[in-house]
Structure 1
Amino acid sequence: MTVTNGKEELEAQFTQWREYVRRRPELQSSDADELEDHLRDSVDELVALGLKPDEAFLIAVKRMGGLDELSREFAREHSERLWKQLVFTGDPADSVKKIRSRQDLIAMLICAAGAAVSIKVPGLFGLRFEDSDTFYATNFSLFTLPWLAAFLAWRRQAGARLCAVLVALFALGAAGANIYPLDEDSQSVNLVGTHLPIALWLVVGLAYVSDELRSSRRRMDFIRFSGEWFVYLVLIALGGGVLTVFLTGTFKAIGLDSGEFISEWLLPCGAMAAIVVAGWLVEAKQGVIENIAPVLTRLFTPLFAVVLLAFLVAIGVNGRGIDINRETLMMFDLLLAVVLGLLLYSISARDPLAPRGTFDVLQLVLVVSALVIDALVLLMMAGRIAEYGGTPNKMAALGENIVLLVNLAWSAWLLLRFVRRRGGFPAIERWQTSYLAVYAVWMWAVVLILPPVFGYQ
């Protein structure tokens, strides 16, 4: 009876291991079968030497190595698969995956077409691009992000309650963009136009994590998704730019002007559809080229650390404060956002069990440097607000810098503890994923509260 139970437990372990392996898109079914044969042979040898089945299984799995290493080995051995997976989705040998991939493709095409059509709907009511700058500046994210969220919610099979929340939040965004009496020259137009897309992108995050909102792992997956989505979108934009140049040149060669078609149809419709297509590509190509953003992070983290340190040294040598104006504020906010992005994507790509290394020290230097710069900017900004009074732009920038200051300060503390071996790496990941809610609250506050508080100026 004991022998039977041992075999059943061993088979259950094999089943669990096989399911885990087959989640790797770069490993085909035949690869999984080959790996399982090797694993079973190794287990049989260890059992023959006198080990218990469960002990033999654990040792055999450890000898085989991690799946990341195995995946890389199979990628080197079957390099032609990578290029096929970049174009086609799913495993041709697996009919279930193939059907699912085809369904995803159809859903993506419907949502992309919906986004492309949405940007042209206001034109039916006389709202043309050249005549309604304010409307399109505040509403452009509402033409495409709901469609991306719909695709992700469909793919995750989100429940009715979550879908209702998504609809309500997008409706709230539409109200914030259109109900307030905003003049074309008002600062509130710029605030809504820049902050509403971020707020709605975090709503897309709700669709991405679906029913696992409390899971730190799923929230980190959304951060990875965001980085890869941006990379794909840039690549699509570059390809679209080349297409536009060739389209202009070829039609010009036969005496036709394609400028109106490009500005009125190709660029707006293509841009809206590309946002959905980029999201589909990230979902479809996971495990193939999903590590582009973290690789770029490894490259730019040392460079930004050196630049920020050089800037702080220059301030100390010159003895001059930071000249705060609108352009400077935008530049420093963008700089701090880039630093935060570098931190997030390096965290997302790091093995939590890996030992501390030089790159972790560089991250700490980067975060501390950004923290000091943020504190200096806040000091100068508070002085100017006290002297000249507040405006919507200044208050939005002040709040954003405070939000970033809190994040960077605690991140620096957690990184310092980690580098000094006083704390674990998962605490850093939990802090960053939990802080997404703070960003969401502030973005919605800028869109919905600041305009009426300052009289829509």
Structure 2
Amino acid sequence: MIKDIDKLIDENTDNPHELERLYREEPRAFEESFPYIWEQNPDSRVLAAWNERLNFRGAGNTQKVSYLRKDILVMVLLAALSGISTRMILYLVDQQMIAPVNLVFGIFPFLAGLFVYKNLPKRTILTALVSLFLICGVYMNLLPFEGKDSILLAYLHLPVFLWVLTGLAFTGDNYRIGSTRLAYLKFNGEFCILYASMAICGMLLTALTMQLFGVVGVDISEFYFENIVLIGAAFLAVVAAFLASGNLKLARNIAPHIARIFGPLVLATLMVYLAAAIWIGKNPFLDRNFLLSFNGILLCVLAVTIFSITERSKEEKKNVSDFVNFALIVLALITDFVALSSIVFRLSSYGLTPNRLAVLGINILICIHLLWIIFAYMRFLQNKTDPAGIQDAITKYLPVYGIWTAFVTFAFPLIF
């Protein structure tokens, strides 16, 4: 909290910019201190405008409350439909009528529907979203129930492609603008924080419920998990999305701190892990499982780095976190080079398979992306550009991942 906010407001009664900054940093403290300052400076036109802003109770506020109620009703409806749809899909999965991957259709379309309601995109975008979701649903269920690698790869890449489609719904008509794509990445970080918080509460409630019914000798575990937990998990996804995409300041205040804390921890952990792997003698060229873990590390580092970069302010000056992020990106690039070399070795030694081709493709895409981010970060660290250049390097490349996941999802089952 800002210390002596009364004094700071009093010193800036004729400085609208500074008053706005103080309000955004500590809105509650500002509102509590403002009446006293306004009473002492009744002739200030700037404070008069602030007084109207903080205390206005006209028709506009009534309309705003009405819209908020409507938004909440739409959110609750979509959340309920998401939970019910997920339960129905699970029933069909249990009957072996459809593949388990269909569970993603109980969540992503409703998240996209929430964003469409909020953004009201043009008809072309709306048509594209509806068509692509329908095509994905029909195509996935036309694939045979076989454990072939190409079909499993399609199942694995489908959620990522639907995530990209949800991003299109989030950005709406502004999907070409980098700042809007950046907002979607920030939303994902805030969404994860909110969902995890609510999920922990849900797990505590589940544990309490199981214990209470266990005391009276009633086993409700199967019913509870298939109905309450599953429906609740889908329901909470829409609720968390609604809160994260609104003006809730809790996650927005927590996310940057989490990014600053986890960046150094991830860097230290991965350096120790890689050093230990080298010491033990693990070889990604010959050990398939270690190669998979290498790629897992790569994706984790990329995700943590993007989260850290997107959560920083454009006005924030260069600090220690930037050097940690840069080190993480360099570590990720080294990991990617090793993984690429291992994949090429396995392709030349053991031949082409859907798995190897998929891993090769995503590693090449990540390598190009990391190089772009590194060059942008180097320019920033040399004071040749601002953080917007780094954020552009991240956001402008996102459609490439969407195209690749679409290719693997739709083309691999046909090719292989």
TM-score normalised by structure 1 residue count: 0.77
Q: Is the 8 A contact 1:112 1:276 kept in 2?
A: yes
Q: Which runs of 5+ in 1 are unaligned?
A: 1-34, 43-59, 80-90
Aligned to 2:109: 146
Cα distance in 2 between the residues matched to 1:251 and 1:320: 49
Cα distance in 2 between the residues matched to 1:186 and 1:289: 41
Cα distance in 1 between the residues matched to 2:194 and 2:142: 34
CA distances 1:361-396 after superposition (whole Å, capped 9, x unpaired): 221111011101110111011101211123222222
Identify the match of residue 374 of structure 2 among 373, 390, 412: 412
Q: Does 1:127 align with 2:80?
A: no
Q: Does 1:305 align with 2:272?
A: no
Worse-superposed segment, 271-280 or 372-381: 271-280
Look up the equivalent residue of 1:205 and give its one-letter code.
G
Worse-superposed segment, 139-148 or 302-311: 302-311
Aligned to 2:50: none
Identify the match of residue 109 of structure 1 among 76, 96, 99: 76
Identify the match of residue 95 of structure 1 among 46, 58, 62: 62
Aligned to 2:128: 165
Q: Is the 8 A contact 2:168 2:175 kept in 1?
A: yes
Aligned to 1:72: 25
Cα distance in 1 between the residues matched to 2:328 and 2:19: 34
Q: Is the 8 A contact 1:339 1:367 kept in 2?
A: yes
Look up the equivalent residue of 1:413 and give its one-letter code.
F
CA distances 1:32-89 after superposition (whole Å, capped 9, x unpaired): xxx8x997x62xxxxxxxxxxxxxxxxx335x2552x43333334669xxxxxxxxxx
Look up the equivalent residue of 1:281 and give its one-letter code.
L
Task: Give the root-mean-square deviation of aligned CA atoms.
Answer: 2.8
Aligned to 1:363: 325
Q: Does 1:224 align with 2:186?
A: yes
Offset of 1:271 from its aligned partner? 2.0
Change over 3 Å in CA distance of 1:323–1:253 after alignment to 2: farther
Cα distance in 1 between the residues matched to 2:280 and 2:112: 49
Would you say how many aligned residue pairs link Structure 1 and Structure 2?
A: 385
Worse-superposed segment, 203-212 or 159-168: 159-168
Aligned to 1:432: 394
Offset of 1:152 from its aligned partner? 1.0
Aligned to 2:16: 61
Change over 3 Å in CA distance of 1:152–1:451 after alignment to 2: same
Cα distance in 2 between the residues matched to 1:253 and 1:201: 42
Identify the match of residue 196 of structure 1 among 158, 161, 175: 158
Identify the match of residue 156 of structure 1 among 106, 110, 119: 119
Q: Is the 8 A contact 1:108 1:277 kept in 2?
A: yes
Instruction: Show the 5 A alignment for 1:214-363.
Output: 214-311=176-273, 321-322=283-284, 325=287, 327-363=289-325
Q: Is the 8 A contact 2:143 2:151 kept in 1?
A: no
Change over 3 Å in CA distance of 1:428–1:447 after alignment to 2: same
Worse-superposed segment, 247-256 or 98-107: 247-256
Q: Is the 8 A contact 1:236 1:274 kept in 2?
A: yes
Change over 3 Å in CA distance of 1:143–1:312 after alignment to 2: closer
Q: Give the SS at the match of 1:120.
A: helix
Cα distance in 2 between the residues matched to 1:319 and 1:138: 37
Offset of 1:210 from its aligned partner? 0.9
Look up the equivalent residue of 1:127 and give its one-letter code.
L
Aligned to 1:422: 384
Cα distance in 2 between the residues matched to 1:269 and 1:324: 43
Cα distance in 2 between the residues matched to 1:291 and 1:326: 41
Look up the equivalent residue of 1:160 and give its one-letter code.
R
Worse-superposed segment, 345-354 or 237-246: 345-354
Cα distance in 1 between the residues matched to 2:292 and 2:199: 24
Identical aligned pairs, as a percentage? Answer: 27
Q: Is the 8 A contact 2:186 2:307 kept in 1?
A: yes
Q: Which runs of 5+ in 2 are unaligned?
A: 1-8, 33-54
Cα distance in 2 between the residues matched to 1:329 and 1:102: 51
Q: Is the 8 A contact 2:302 2:332 kept in 1?
A: no
Offset of 1:256 from its aligned partner? 2.1
Change over 3 Å in CA distance of 1:113–1:92 after alignment to 2: farther
Cα distance in 1 between the residues matched to 2:330 and 2:162: 30
Change over 3 Å in CA distance of 1:243–1:310 after alignment to 2: closer
Offset of 1:250 from its aligned partner? 1.6
Change over 3 Å in CA distance of 1:321–1:332 after alignment to 2: closer
Cα distance in 2 between the residues matched to 1:411 and 1:338: 16
Q: Give the SS at the match of 2:386.
A: coil
Q: Give the SS at the match of 2:26.
A: helix
Q: Does 1:211 align with 2:166?
A: no
Q: Give the SS at the match of 2:318.
A: coil
Aligned to 1:7: none
Q: Give the SS at the match of 2:197.
A: helix
Offset of 1:259 from its aligned partner? 2.0
Q: Does 1:377 align with 2:336?
A: no
Change over 3 Å in CA distance of 1:267–1:65 after alignment to 2: same
Change over 3 Å in CA distance of 1:142–1:61 after alignment to 2: same
Cα distance in 2 between the residues matched to 1:121 and 1:73: 45
